[in-house]
């Protein structure tokens, strides 16, 4: 069963334009969802988690239980935002696993 879907493999936006990276999950209840980012030639790192409801590097993500979505948004994209972004809901079977989507590669065009 597919646990998380990131429908866009590639996304390009111009600098200063709004950006939205989509994530849909197939869970019941209110999972603790994460967004991870991987900049070029770097390791994956946590960008934000919905439970903290904070904004990191201008990004926010709202959990929409009705649509089972957790889209990542930023009002004004910057060139340094170019990276690979992964949405990651947790395993609901009791293990500490995160299930990563296929990722979206964001390119911000100068």
Partner 1 sequence: EAQVTQNPRYLITVTGKKLTVTCSQNMNHEYMSWYRQDPGLGLRQIYYSMNVEVTDKGDVPEGYKVSRKEKRNFPLILESPSPNQTSLYFCASSPTTSFEQYFGPGTRLTVT
Map 86-101 to HEC letters. Answer: EEECECCCCCCCECCC
Position 102 contacts partner 1 (CB under 8 A): yes
* Cβ neighbours, 10 Å, residue 108: 20
Candidates 2, 28, 40, 96: give the one binding partner 1 (CB under 8 A): 96
Task: Kindly list the distances between the CA atom of residue 49 and the CA atoms of 12, 63, 85, 87, in Å, as whole numbers in the listed order.
Answer: 24, 10, 13, 10
45 part of the interface to partner 1, by CB under 8 A: yes
44 binds partner 1 (CB under 8 A): yes
22 binds partner 1 (CB under 8 A): no
Q: Does 60 bind partner 1 (CB under 8 A)?
A: no
Would you count residue 54 as binding partner 1 (CB under 8 A)? no
DSSP notation for 48-84? EEGGGT--BTTBEE--BTTTTB--EEESS--GGG-EE
Among 43, 66, 80, 110, binds partner 1 (CB under 8 A): 43
Binding stretches for partner 1 (CB under 8 A)? 6, 9, 32, 34, 42-46, 49, 86, 90, 95-103
């Amino acid at each position: 069963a597919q646990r998380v879907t990131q429908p866009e493999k590639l996304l390009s936006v111009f600098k200063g334009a709004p950006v939205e990276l989509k994530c849909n999950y197939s869970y019941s209840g209110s999972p603790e969802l994460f967004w991870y980012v991987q900049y070029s030639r770097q390791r994956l790192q946590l960008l934000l988690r919905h439970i903290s409801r904070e904004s990191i590097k201008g990004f926010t993500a709202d959990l929409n239980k009705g649509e089972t979505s957790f889209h990542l948004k930023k009002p004004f994209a910057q060139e340094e935002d170019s990276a690979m972004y992964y949405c990651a809901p947790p395993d609901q079977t009791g293990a500490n696993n995160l299930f990563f989507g296929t990722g979206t590669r964001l390119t911000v065009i100068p």
